Structure 1
């Protein structure tokens, strides 16, 4: 299942309006200008995972509710088979497969991520993202260049990172092929998204 960008953007707008939040307040919460935020809320621009996560955080909902319009409902356990999950294709071909979309009150968001190999990214600075919390990335297949503020690390299958995701971080696949990794995005301890 791939969420429709216009529907997702419409849910963000409806939640913002229901909460009587201004575009300026949401722009501040997502780290964008009002015009950038407006373009994303209207569905004119792609919605990055970081943007969706920050919207969910500010709106006080689970990111899955924004993506699907449904509240997660499982509380005991959630099982997703190898090819199952909520597919989210964002950011220059990155594919995120959310592996527990129906589990409620998650302390973390688990994703199987496929980073495409793009030749044009190999010799330019890596785009950095920021979102509150921590993240664990475990490389399953391929190689990955990871940038964290001014540090750069080269990773391969079996390597694992854990980092403060509130600081600048980004990654690209290297080695001529996509990189597949498990990303566990953990929410800040003082924040709870139902």
Structure 2
């Protein structure tokens, strides 16, 4: 696996140990097999954003703290210029750019997400605590929420309970781009 996965896994292990939690306790809280959790800590299994979001909540840290190893310093304002943001490439079909990565004690996590077309492959669904708002900036995508599927086009939006398993799939041959705001 990549060095980034190993670094994130090492931070997971260090944070878990510093809180006096066992791998079994964290795995149970995340509802994943302990064997899978240990593979995450070893940097041998790729993370979904939902996994990172959920484990960050359990450990009491920001998602960006886990990914970057740096704690944000700002609490008044953060500005991200066009095309900027902290890149989080956790899945081949999804490109996330965190738009408030230097802001401390956020009540929401804003991301610009690009979903690459993957043909007829139905994406794996993931869930995390809270609620989410997605606004389509460009392209078209199918939005999967539980057993439902919605086609979203530029200008459309969806607000949903993100504890329900969900996924997105770009339609056609062009990427779909949307603003995602994840609320705790």
TM-score band w.r.t. shorter chain: over 0.9
Structure 1 residue 136: deviation in Å? Answer: 0.5
SS at match of 2:74: coil
Paired with 1:93 and 1:176, the residues of 2 have a C-alpha distance of: 13
| Cα offset, 1:93, TM superposition | 2.8
Residue number in structure 2 paired with 1:84: 84
- For residues 114-173 of structure 1, give each alpha carbon's deviation from its aligned partner in whole angstroms, at most 9, with x where no partner exists: 11100141xx4x422111100001111111101111111001100000000011211111
**How many Å separate the matches in 2 of 1:171 and 1:93?**
9
RMSD: 1.3
The 5 Å alignment of 1:1-194 reads 4-121=4-121, 124=122, 126-187=123-184
Alpha-carbon contact 1:116-1:177 (below 8 Å) kept: yes
Q: Separation in 2 of the partners of 1:22 and 1:114?
A: 36
Which 4+ runs in 1 deviate beyond 2 A?
Answer: none
Unaligned runs of 5+ in 2: none
Alignment partners' CA distance in 1, 2:151 and 2:92: 20
Secondary structure of 1:4's counterpart equals helix
> So what's the TM-score if we normalise by structure 2?
0.95
Whether the 8 Å contact between 1:29 and 1:54 is mirrored in structure 2 is no
Query: Any idea what SS the aligned residue of 1:119 has?
Result: coil
> What is the CA distance between 1:81 and its match in structure 2?
0.3
Residues 73-100 of structure 1 show CA distances to partners (whole Å, capped at 9, x for unaligned) of 1111110001221100012331100011
